[in-house]
């Protein structure tokens, strides 16, 4: 399962609805389930010991880390 190592953002489920069939109340529109995955990147960071560690972070965490490094 995909999961961010910093904020624990993970996949979640949703439903697709077929809008062509949803116009009339006489028949029920078909629904299919879908899985939405977070946008993860591999990021190399230095540990307290100075050894490089690869962690998986979502893009919101990635942008926050890059903004803090530039400042």
> What would the pLDDT profile of 23-55 be if each residue is shown by its tens digit?
666 567 778 899 999 999 999 989 899 999 999
Whether residue 18 has pLDDT greater than 80 = no
Q: How many CB atoms lie within 10 A of CB 4?
A: 20
Residue range 2-11: mean pLDDT, rounded: 94
Is 64 in a helix, a strand, or coil? helix
Question: Is the whole-model pTM more than 0.85?
Answer: no
pLDDT of residue 38: 94
Do 58 and 20 touch, CB atoms closer than 8 A? no
Higher pLDDT, 19 or 42: 42
Query: If phi over 0 gives left and psi between -120 and 50 gives alpha, with beta otherwise, what is residue 18?
Result: beta
| Phi/psi of residue 64, nearest 5 degrees | -65, -40
Nearest to residue 37, comparing CAs of 59, 21, 17? 59
């Amino acid at each position: 399962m995909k999961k961010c190592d910093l904020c624990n953002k993970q996949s979640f489920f949703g439903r697709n609805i077929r809008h062509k069939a949803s116009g009339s109340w006489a028949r029920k529109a078909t629904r299919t389930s879908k899985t939405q995955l977070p946008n993860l990147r591999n990021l190399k960071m230095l540990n307290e010991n100075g050894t490089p560690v690869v962690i998986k972070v979502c893009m919101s965490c990635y942008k926050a880390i890059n903004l803090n490094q530039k400042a």
